[in-house]
Structure 1
Amino acid sequence: MCGIAGFVDFTRQTGKDTLVRMTDSLAHRGPNDAGYEVIEQPGASVGLGQRRLSILDLSSGGHQPMHFRHLSMIFNGEVYNFMEVRKELEAVGYTFDSTSDTEVILKGFHCWGPSVVDKFIGMFAYVVLDREKNVVTVTRDRAGVKPFYYYWDGQHFLWGSELKAFHQHRAFRKDIDVNSLALFLQFSYIPAPYCIFKNTYKLRPGHILTLSLGDKRVVERPYWDVADCYNKPRLRIDEQEALEETERLLVSAYNYRMVADVPVGIFLSGGYDSCSVAGILQKGRTERLKTFTIGFHEADFNEAHYAKKVADYLGTDHHEWYITAGDAKDVFHRLPEIYDEPFADNSVVPTALVSQLAARHVKVSLSADGGDEIFAGYKKFNQSLRYTESIPAPVQSMLSGAMSLINPERIPYFSRQYNFDTRYRKMQAIWESRSPLEALKVISSYTTPEEVAAFIRPAYTAYETSFDTGYPGASLDGLNRMLSVDYKTFLVDNNLVKVDRATMAVGLEGREPMLDHRVIEFLAQLPADLKIRKAVDLRGRPVNKYLLKKIVHKYIPKELMDRPKMPFIAPLKVWFRDELAEKMHDYLGERKLRESGLFNAKPIMELSRAYLAGSPVNYQKLWNLLVFQLWYERWMKTPVATAMPAEEVLA
């Protein structure tokens, strides 16, 4: 696990000192080693920088940049099946000087070219310079576990694992893209390929980018797309066969993620996803795996006691930390340093703190992100289907038309209920579309397009995202279509960003065993009824994650697991009306709102005052705005030279 940074400078004015600054801004991602090289190529200077967190082959054999014949490479991530690929290469005459996966990637690229990625099981972003062909090739893993940002102005191609590297290069212009700001306020994250800055992009998951140094041509193409998996015919197997194959794949995926030359732990929330990881991996092991949980004193948000019961049953070496508003306050000012693009998931605080807890004991921790997306755990899937497919289309059109004639603020009683205006507008949009996919997009947003337009001062364009263009075939059932889109949006640009930055901030490698591509390729072909069982349980509700629950109950008794799903979020709506109210007053006050010239202060201040006065306002809208204001102060107003040292990002 590492941080990578670099450049292609067609003006040849970027030196090694700039490369060192860019790379060392990512020192928190790789505190164990560093490498920097500037290579002069026909037409351009190429800088390759890497900060290394040593997980496999702790010797100097894994040092980067790594070279082989006419190829030079830097790499962030892990290839878990590298020993199998290495044997293939040895069979055709390649020899190896280290036991690192980096050398296997490099020599595999030499042997098979960019298509070598098809052989890899892992999470990665790697850059290969072919000095003979004068081409730079970038590859990002299928699910997008490892990040890759790039900036391109026609003369300078900059890249980095995090945006903070770009601030160290004189050519980088930090001009805010207002269109991306609108996406952020709507979803609380910025979907790929967009970025908060102009001319700056995220390489999409499952994509390869090539830059020809001869003609400055940039080409981005997919090598894997989850929609292709869902578009395959449904498998003709029975439930027992599906259970056995799913369990086999999970066991293989989970055990691959245990390969390391350093201690490995597990984030354990007490839900089915993380319990599947802990249950499968602890079974048959004599050593007690280390598990980590964050708890809250506010009972409505706390499930740490459930995790403790599971840990006791499995016999893990369990560690827990009950956090307070004071703990949250300590981490707030560090959030813009950790998340150097505006990012407002409501669980960033506990995720940052559980990473801090784990880093005291291990260097690798397994997370269970992806379970809700691949096994259908979120209630938004049920809601989207219920609101659309269970109501005749003419009735939906009639309801939407009638709602458009009524101002929700003037409806007695209901107008005083929690977030009623936004929920009203969302239902109107859902019934107007009559599509479960559009319903998913609407439910996944926190702020309506009308509210976003009221908040933002400059004119902007509504960018298309994978919500709009990433749909699989129309013949697919509604649930599997939604799962495909959610995998390409919320999973990659919200959940994976959250965990990658939080773990890397403390020099901890986060691994995502449920995102092994073999798992999703199989599950994508299963019918919807194995994900959400239409037959109701004793409480009269559909059974989400049906397949996963059947597997987990083999390892952990059902009575320890069978309870309502709880989101892993901090009680921000409680804290911001109490201990943290002054931050809301400060950052969402008129003076700071007008500083950037981006916002209309009046509607935001009215919303903030209403919330602090106890009105039923959705705090997530204000959290998005507050996070942006914190980010703006750090990255648009503060000189780069005052960047927080890596060891202080999460002290």
Structure 2
Amino acid sequence: MCGITGFVDFKKNSGIDVLRKMSDALLHRGPDDGGCEVYEAPEAAIGFGQRRLSILDLSPLGHQPMHFGDLIVNFNGEIYNFKEIRKELEEKGYTFTSWSDTEVILKGYDCWGIDVVQKFIGMFAFALYDKRKQQIILLRDRAGVKPLYYYWNEEVLLFGSELKALYAHPAFEKKIDVNSVALFLQFSYIPAPHSVFHRTFKLLPGHYLTIDLSSRRQQLTKYWEVFDHYNKPKLSLSDAEAIEQTDKLLKNAYEYRMVADVPVGLFLSGGYDSSSVAALLQTGRAEKLKTFTIGFHENEFNEAPEAKKIAEYLGTDHTEWYLTAKEAGSVLDRLPEIYDEPFADNSTVPTVLVSVLARKQVKVALSADGGDEIFGGYNKFNQAERYTSQMPPFVQSLLSGTMSLINPQYIPFFNSKYNFATRYEKMRLIWKSHDPVSAVKYISQYITEKEAESFLGQSFERYHTFFEDGRLLEHNDGTVNRLLAIDYKTFLVDNNLVKMDRATMSVSLEGREPMLDHRVIEFLAQLPSSLKIRNGVNKWLLKEVVHRYIPKALMERPKRPFIAPLMVWFREDLKEQLRYYLSERCLSATGVFAHGPIIQLRDEYLAGKKVNYQKLWQVLMFQLWYDRWIEKL
């Protein structure tokens, strides 16, 4: 696990000093070793910088950038099946000097070209310089577990695992893209390929970008697409067969994520996703797994007691930490340093702190992100299907049209209900669309497009996101599988995986996502929707697997979201921070917001009115980000 960065400077103005600054910005991702090299090509100066967190082959032989003949690679991630690929290469005559997966990438590319990526089981983002072809290749894994940003201004290409590495290059232009800010306000994250800045992009998962040095031509190529697997005919399996095959596949995927030359632990919330990882790995294992949980003193948010019961039943070595508002407040100021693009998932605070807890004992931690997206865990899937099927389309159109004529603020009784105007607008748009995929988009919005315009004080361009790609999915199995495919390409990659990667890496902890093995994804995509949500029961298939290892009575409980109790803290310990950063002076300083609607919302919230605190949290996170990365630089 590492951080990578670099440049391709066609004006040849970039050298080793600026590359070291870019690499040093990623020190937290790899404090064990670092390498910076600049290569002079006829057309450009090329810089590869890397920070290493030693997980496999702890010796100096794993140093990067790594060379083999005319190939140079800069790699972040893990190839879990590297030993099998290495054996295949040895049979073809290749020899190896290290036990690192990086060397396997290089020699695998030399043998099979870019098609070697189809052999990889893992999480990865890498830059490869092919001197023979005079090409630079930037590549990202199928799920997008490992991040990769790039910036292009016709003269300089910059890339890095985090935006802060790009900030360190003098050619990088921090021109805020208001259209992306609008996306951030709506979803609490900025969907790929967009970023907060103009000319700056996230490399899409399952893609690689090729830069031809002689022509400066860029080509974005897709090597894997989750839609392809959801569009395949569904497998005809009995319930028992589906449970058995899922169990075996998960077990194999989970065991792969235990491969390391350093201590490994796992995050345990007590829900089905993390419990499945703990159960399948601990069962039959003599050594006790180390499990970690964050708890809250506010009972409605606290999962720690349930997690402890699961840990005791499975026999893991369990550690828990109960957070206070003061401890959460200490993290608040660190969030913009950790999340160097505006990001407002409301579980960042506990995720950062559970990473702090785990890093005291282990260097690798397994998470269970992806379970809700691949097994059907979110209520929004049920809601989207229900809202768009409970009445004929012509009735939905009639209702939507009528709602557009009525201001919800003037509807007696209902206008005093929690977040009513936003919910009213969402239902109007859902009934207008008649489409469950569009419904998931609107349900996922914390702030509607209309509200975003109000907050920004201007209209904005509606950027395309994968929420608009429902038409590319076959209608061969109801709606659930289509909704899961869309969520996989939006909320999972740009919210959950960003949250976990930055939180773990902020304390030099490698986070692994065992449920996002592409073999698991491909298999589950071909299973009928009825195995995922059945008779209103979400994650039916995963629950049946878990019940093989943990009694149902121990697992069955109301689901609690893994979020910090912000709505309590904002009115108490964190009130002054909210007042300061959402003041007229601070809001006006960004040049992005119309402060009036935001201050009104802030004051209504602090007065105890039924306002969605998440809206204020999103603006606050932007303000903290702006203060750290724009105002202070």
**Interval of TM-score (by shorter of Structure 1 and Structure 2):** over 0.9
1:357-396 superposed matches below 5 A: 357-396=357-396
What's the offset of the Cα at 1:402?
2.1
User: Aligned-pair distance for 1:138?
Assistant: 1.3
Contact kept in structure 1, 2:338 and 2:503, CA below 8 Å: yes
The alignment's TM-score, normalised by the length of structure 2, stands at: 0.99
Q: Distance in 2 between matches of 1:373 and 1:189?
A: 17
Structure 1, unpaired ranges of 5+: 535-541, 640-651
Amino acid at match of 2:543: K
Whether the 8 Å CA contact 1:129–1:136 is kept in 2: the answer is yes
CA contact (8 A) 1:472 1:484 kept: no
Deviation of 1:405 after TM superposition, in Å, equals 2.2
Q: Which amino acid aligns with 1:341?
A: E
1:157-178 residue CA offsets vs partner (Å, 9 max, x unmatched): 0000000011111100101011
- The within-5 A match list for 1:252-651 is 252-469=252-469, 471-476=471-476, 477-534=478-535, 542-639=536-633
Counterpart for residue 108 of structure 1: 108
Is the CA contact 2:23–2:165 (under 8 Å) kept in the aligned structure 1? yes
- In 1: Cα distance, 2:258 partner to 2:333 partner: 34
1:418-473 deviation line (CA, Å, top 9, x unaligned): 10110011011101111100100000010011100011135421101000136542
| 1:336, distance to aligned residue in structure 2 (A) | 0.3
- Local SS of the residue matching 1:463: coil
Q: TM-score, normalised by structure 1?
A: 0.96
What's the CA shift string for 1:341-392, capped at 9, x where partnerless?
0000010000000000000010000000000000000000000011012322
- Assess if the C-alpha contact under 8 Å between 2:291 and 2:319 holds in 1: yes
SS at match of 1:5: strand
* CA apart distance, 1:303: 0.9
Residue 87 of structure 1 is matched in structure 2 by: 87
Between the aligned partners of 1:627 and 1:600, the Cα distance in structure 2 is: 16
Q: Distance in 1 between matches of 2:471 and 2:496?
A: 20
**In 1, Cα distance between equivalents of 2:471 and 2:276:** 29
Paired AA for residue 561 in structure 1:
M
Instruction: Identify the residue that residue 537 of structure 1 maps to in structure 2.
Output: none
Q: Which moved more, 1:464-473 or 1:325-334?
A: 464-473
1:83-133 CA-partner distances (Å, limit 9, x unpaired): 011111111110000000000011001111111000000000011101121
Q: What letter corresponds to residue 525 of structure 1 in structure 2?
A: Q
Conserved? CA contact 2:182–2:452, under 8 Å: yes
Name the counterpart of 1:229. 229
In 1, the alpha carbon distance for the partners of 2:348 and 2:505 equals 13
SS of residue in 2 equivalent to 1:566: coil
Shift of residue 475 of structure 1? 2.0
Name the SS of the counterpart of 1:617 in structure 2. Answer: coil
Aligned counterparts of 1:145 and 1:157: Cα–Cα separation in 2: 23
Tell me the alpha carbon deviations over residues 191-232 of structure 1, each in whole angstroms, 9 at most, x when there is no partner: 000000110000000001100000101111110010001000
Residue in 2 aligned with 1:133? Answer: 133
Residues in 1 aligned to 2:458 and 2:30: alpha-carbon distance in whole angstroms:
39
Question: 1:394: how far off?
Answer: 1.9
Distance 2:235 2:616 in 1: 45
Q: CA RMSD in A?
A: 0.8
Which has the higher mean CA deviation after the structures are superposed, 23-32 or 390-399? 390-399
Residues 437 and 470 of structure 2 are in contact (CA less than 8 Å); yes or no, is this contact kept in structure 1?
A: no
What amino acid is the match of 2:435?
S
Q: Which letter does structure 2 place at the counterpart of 1:76?
A: N
CA contact (8 A) 2:231 2:474 kept: no
Provide the rounded CA distance (Å) in 1 between the counterparts of 2:315 and 2:377. Answer: 26
- 3-state SS of paired residue (2:125): strand
Shift in Å at residue 412 of structure 1?
A: 1.5
Contact 1:76 1:146 in 2 (8 A): yes
Please give the alpha-carbon distance, in whole angstroms, between the structure 2 residues aligned to 1:566 and 1:516.
26
**Alignment map for 1:2-81 (pairs within 5 Å):** 2-81=2-81
State the 1:414 CA deviation. Answer: 1.2
**Contact 2:290 2:318 survives alignment (8 Å):** yes
Contact 1:151/1:159, CA 8 A, preserved across alignment:
yes
What SS does the aligned partner of 2:336 have?
helix
After TM superposition, the runs of 4+ consecutive aligned structure 1 residues lying more than 3 A away are none
Separation in structure 2 between the aligned mates of residue 509 and residue 175 of structure 1, nearest angstrom: 32
Number of residue equivalences? 632
Determine the C-alpha separation between the residues in 2 that align with 1:10 and 1:521: 40
Contact 2:75 / 2:126 at 8 angstroms: preserved in 1? yes
Question: Which residue is 2:204 aligned to?
Answer: 204
**Map of 1:178 onto structure 2:** 178
Q: Is the 2:80–2:257 Cα contact (8 Å) retained in structure 1?
A: yes
The answer (yes or no) to whether the contact 1:342–1:627 under 8 Å persists in 2 is: yes
Following the alignment from structure 1 to structure 2, what is the Cα–Cα distance between the partners of residues 628 and 153? 25
Question: What residue in structure 2 maps to residue 191 of structure 1?
Answer: 191
Please name the residue that 2:239 is paired with: 239
Distance in 2 (CA, whole Å) between partners of 1:461 and 1:165 is 28
Matched residue, 1:642 = none
Task: Please identify, of 463-472 and 257-266, the stretch whose mean Cα deviation from structure 2 is larger.
Answer: 463-472
Show structure 2 runs of 5+ residues with no match.
none
In the alignment, structure 1 residue 218 sits paired with structure 2 residue 218: yes
Q: Aligned-pair distance for 1:297? A: 0.5
The one-letter amino acid of 1:564's match is P
Measure the CA separation in 2 of the matches of 1:457 and 1:10: 39
Contact 1:6 1:160 in 2 (8 A): yes
* Matched position secondary structure for 1:391: coil
Any conservation in 2 of the 1:471–1:485 contact (CA below 8 Å)?
Answer: no
Give CA deviations for 1:463-518 in whole Å, capped at 9, x if unaligned. Answer: 01000136542423211111000000000000000000000000000000000000
User: What are the superposed Cα offsets for residues 26-72 of structure 1, whole Å, 9 maximum, x if unpaired?
Assistant: 00000000001000112001001100000000001110000000000
Q: Secondary structure at the match of 2:549?
A: coil
- The secondary structure found in structure 2 opposite 1:55 is coil
**Percent of aligned positions that are identical:** 63
1:339–1:501: 8 Å Cα contact kept in structure 2? yes
SS across alignment from 2:291: strand
- Report the Cα distance in structure 2 between the residues aligned to 1:458 and 1:116, rounded to whole angstroms: 47
